[in-house]
Each structure stands twice: as C-alpha cells, then as structure tokens.
Structure 1
Amino acid sequence: MYSLLLISAALSSCGLTAAIPAGLHRRDVTQLSATELAGFAPFTQFARAAYCGTDILSDWTCGEACEANSDFEVSLVGGDGDDIQNYFVGYSPSLEAIIVAHEGTDPTQLESDLTDIDVPLATLNSTLFPGISSDVEVHTGFQDEHALTADVILAEVKSLMSSVGTNNIIAVGHSLGGALAEIDTIFFRLNLPSADISAMTYGTPRVGNPAWAALVDASDVNFKRIDNMQDLIPIVPGRSLGYEHPAGEIHILSAGDAVSCPGDDDATDAECQIDSVPTIFEGNIIDHLGPYEGIYIGTIFCT
C-alpha cells in the first residue's frame, strides 16, 4: 500500500489527480443502518486474519480475528507474505459460506511492494479468464499475483463446495488483498457458473479499466468495497491512467456512520470517497488501517 502511495505522489505532482470530470451530476447516497454495518464485522475480521502467519492460520489461533469467527473450519493455507501473499480458504458454518481471504501488502516485504508498483494495464490472462474481451484490462502486478494461487484456490473451493454442500462463496481482502478478492469474483464466475459469489473488500486500490468495472457490474456478483474516511489508497492508481472502480462503494464517514455510494467511481456526493479525497494530498494513510467499525486491519493487528 505504501508503494502505491509513493507512485501516486509522483503522478499527482505531474497533475495526474483524481479530479471529477466535468459534466457529472450529483448523485444521492444511501445511509447504512447500524444493523447493516454490524453485519460486515465477520468479513472484516477475515480480512484482518489474512495478515497473520500461515502457522497460526493453519490451526486458527490468530487471536481476536480468529476468535470473532470461532467456528471457521480452515482447509487451505498458503503464501509467504512476500512473493506470494498469504491466503486461506475454509468453511464458515455460521455464514454457511466458503471464505477465500487474501493478505494485503506488508510494506516490509520487497516482493509485495513490487507487486503494487507494477501499474501498467494489461489484458486478462486468457488461460485463467477464457473468452473475456481484450478490451478488459487490469493492473499487471495484481493480475500476476492472482495467477500464482488461482488454480490451487479454485481446486480447494470446488472440493469444499462438494464436501460441505454449499454454492455460497465469499472473497475478502484488504488493500492488495482486496484487489485479489476483486479479481477472484470474475475468476470464480467463469469457473463456477452456478455459484453464489460475493466479495467484501477494504481499502482497495483501483484494479482495472472501465471495461473491467463494467464486467464486474454485469457479473451478478454481490460486490462491496468499503473505504474508510480519508483513506487515499482507494483513489490510486489514478483514473488518468485509465483505471476505474466498479460499483459497490461503501464509505465510512465516522464510527457508526457510513453511506452507500452510487455509480462506478463517479459519485460526486461530498460523502463519497472520490469527492472527499480528490487527491492523495488530501488523504490520510492512517485511515487505510481503520477503524472499520472498530476493527483495524494490517500486519501489526493480526493478533
């Protein structure tokens, strides 16, 4: 996440900011209820747990994050937190869902930092994403990272779907992990056409171009991307580089106060991220860590 910040600072200094295009009209937001906000907590804790080491994830002993989802049955753990982001797959009886979680960037690990800064857009891997138009492009580094674990995660998800008898799959992640979860949505949709697919992401940078955003929107996936107060990571890489978020933004304004923002990265309401943080210089990197309704996410909060 910090490497994305450095690149964005350089781009902003050249005038490449997240300014709102002329001609867009104001769109109304929808206030979220306390019950809706509370319902996000299990997924927030899964995203938090993904930052923990594979050893403690294997036996689900990662402190508060694991205790909050105490009935979770982990079935696959992998990654090294550097070249391959940590990840886990398992079944949540209480949610009646298969959970796929990806770790975000650990700024102390060189390889994960290099993933963030590999920002050129590229067409999707035709082996993993067959039949997708070449107009659809995504962040090169995010796509390459996703490809490292795509097959093994898909195989585990298929196995769990058979063994526990559910078609409900939920991908979660924070920061880079959120970007991987977003890519998961289309990967799973192509490979598991009968599945009910959702994603809950936190502080997620932009993943692809407008054609990618349209693909996610049209995929019938229940996609939510939560950004927190003045977090600047969700506005990078810049739209001037050809990037655009899909729909599904939920913007936390303060504790207990959040709104659902309309549109694909173009909600001009002052309560939405793109207007409240128009450039990285008006953001706050600390907000990237939370709190997401009282829960902080990052390497130092994994226990």
Structure 2
Amino acid sequence: MEQYASAAYCKKNFNSPGDRITCSDGTCPLVQAANATSAIEYNSNLLTDVTGYVALDPTHKLIVVSFRGSASVQNWITNLEFGAVPTSLCTGCTVHRGFWQSWLDSRPAVTAAVNQLSISNPTYKIVTTGHSLGGAIATLAAADLRAAGYQVALYTFGAPRVSNSKLANHITAQPGGNYRVTHWNDPVPNIPPILFDFAHVSPEYYINRPNALAVRASDFRIYEGVTNLRGNAAWLVTDVLAHFWYFGSFSIKCQL
C-alpha cells in the first residue's frame, strides 16, 4: 500500500489513464509486478489541485484509490485551511475545510470509477491510500465510500489530522479496516493541533525506527484512541525528513 501511495507522485500515473501503474525511480516494484492498470487518472485544475488515480490490481484482486501528497502551491494552501466545516458523514461532525474540499473535487470521478470497477469485479477488495495530504483525502474517501455501502480498507502514511473527535470515532468504527501508519518524529501527523479540536482515526501503527534503517515487524507499535499522545505524538522535537521515509526512502523524484 505504501508503494501505491508513492506511485501517486509520478506524473505518468496521473496524466495517462488506462496504462500500467509504474514508477520511473523504482519506488513501486511490487505495484509494477502486480500488473496494476489505471481506470482513471486525474490532476485537477481546481484550487485544491487534488491528484491521483483509481487502479485495478488483478494479482491481488484490488481496486485501489490513491491520492498524491503535497506537491504544489495549491496543495500547501489546502493544508493550511485549518478552518473546520460541517460534513454529512455523521451528525455533529466537522472536518478540515481544505481536505474536505479536496475530496469533494475528486469524488464524482472516483465514485463513478469505483462503482464501475466493483460491478465488473465484484470479488475485488476496495482500498484507499495516500501519503501526507493524500492520506487525509484517502481517509475522507474511505469514510464516504463506506457510507455509500462499499467495504473499504484505509491505509495512510504520515497523514495529518482530518476532523473533530466525533468524526474520527465514526470513521474508526466503520467496517473495512483502518491502518494509519506514522514514522518516528514525523511532524505532519501532529497538524492541525489537538487544541484546534482535531483528532486522528484510530489505531495508529507507529514505526519506532529512525530514518535510513530497515523496518522490521518488531518495530511497529499499535496505539488506540483518536487523541492518543503516544507514538508519533509523543515527540516534542520533530524532523521533516522523517515525513519522507516510510519503509525505506519515500522518494518523489519520479514527479520531476
């Protein structure tokens, strides 16, 4: 799933629908070996610049919805939209304005593709994934697709907080599985601050391993709770380089 998230940074995977998902810098060999192909790819011209693809993986029988992380000025503007707005996902639930708008911008194309692929491949599992900003959008995509009746698994890497605690608890309780991966002292999962009434989807799968070291199964720590202050949130001193390192070197070179 990390490699599907990484592949969303590669231009070839968001401007040429219908071809194989590949990474010219070698960051997604498992995806390439699975012979995954895109059903749709999108690079929005709207303010949020939401970018990604929906792919079909015949090897693992997956429908994968992947969103790119921050890679443009518009993306950073979206990240800084700390204001919370109501959402229809549950009563009394609020969500980060920029992240919600990003999902709304991509929702028509994504839901149409997921619906078509699900009809054609009824035994395939649906997955949403993304790194950084992409993980935030993937979280809302999973919640909305689940509300529409789809069984969706969610995998995020270094994602920021998305919503208030009520919505975070709602998404946590939805069926499908939530796998929120954080790494060492990555600063991004700590924004927006808890003091702004933001919370995380639970549980957290924390990689207790510094940069540039191979990750072992024993390096993972699992922490429950939408406002837990252990794992990644326990760090007072952070390192932005930890944000670009998940299961190895998280490269975005292939976008260039």
Identity %, equivalent residues:
23
Aligned match of 2:9 in 47, 51, 56?
51
1:44–1:295 CA contact under 8 A, matched in 2: no
State how far apart, in whole Å, the 2-side matches of 1:253 and 1:122 are. Answer: 34
2:156–2:179 CA contact under 8 A, matched in 1: yes
Residue 184 (structure 2) aligns with: 229
Aligned match of 1:296 in 245, 250, 256?
250
Long gaps (5+) in structure 1 = 1-42
Question: Which stretch has the larger CA shift, 43-52 or 259-268?
Answer: 259-268
1:65–1:302 CA contact under 8 A, matched in 2: no
Are residues 228 and 102 of structure 1, via their aligned partners in 2, closer, same or farther at CA, if it must alter by over 3 Å?
Answer: same
Aligned length: 242
Which is higher, the Rg of structure 1 or of structure 2?
A: 1
Residue 155 (structure 2) aligns with: 200
Aligned match of 1:274 in 208, 233, 245?
233
Residue aligned with 2:121, SS? helix
| TM-score, normalised by the number of residues in structure 1 | 0.75
State how far apart, in whole Å, the 2-side matches of 1:182 and 1:138 are. Answer: 11
Asked which structure has the greater RCO (Cα within 8 Å, sep 6+), the reply is 1
Matches within 5 A, 1:10-29: none
Residue 110 (structure 1) aligns with: 73
Residue 67 (structure 1) aligns with: 29
Aligned match of 2:103 in 126, 137, 146?
146
| TM-score, normalised by the number of residues in structure 2 | 0.88
Matches within 5 A, 1:203-282: 203-254=158-209, 255-256=215-216, 257-268=219-230, 272-275=231-234, 277=235, 279=236, 282=237
State how far apart, in whole Å, the 2-side matches of 1:55 and 1:244 are. Answer: 33
Shift of 1:214: 1.0
Residue 30 (structure 2) pairs with residue 76 (structure 1): no
Shift of 1:67: 3.4
Residue aligned with 1:221, SS? coil
Long gaps (5+) in structure 2 = 210-214
State how far apart, in whole Å, the 1-side matches of 2:162 and 2:173 are. Answer: 16
State how far apart, in whole Å, the 1-side matches of 2:130 and 2:22 are. Answer: 19
Q: CA RMSD in A?
A: 1.9
Are residues 56 and 228 of structure 1, via their aligned partners in 2, closer, same or farther at CA, if it must alter by over 3 Å?
Answer: farther
State how far apart, in whole Å, the 1-side matches of 2:244 and 2:28 are. Answer: 18
Are residues 67 and 56 of structure 1, via their aligned partners in 2, closer, same or farther at CA, if it must alter by over 3 Å?
Answer: farther
State how far apart, in whole Å, the 2-side matches of 1:83 and 1:141 are. Answer: 7
Shift of 1:68: 2.2
Residue aligned with 1:152, SS? helix
Shift of 1:83: 3.8
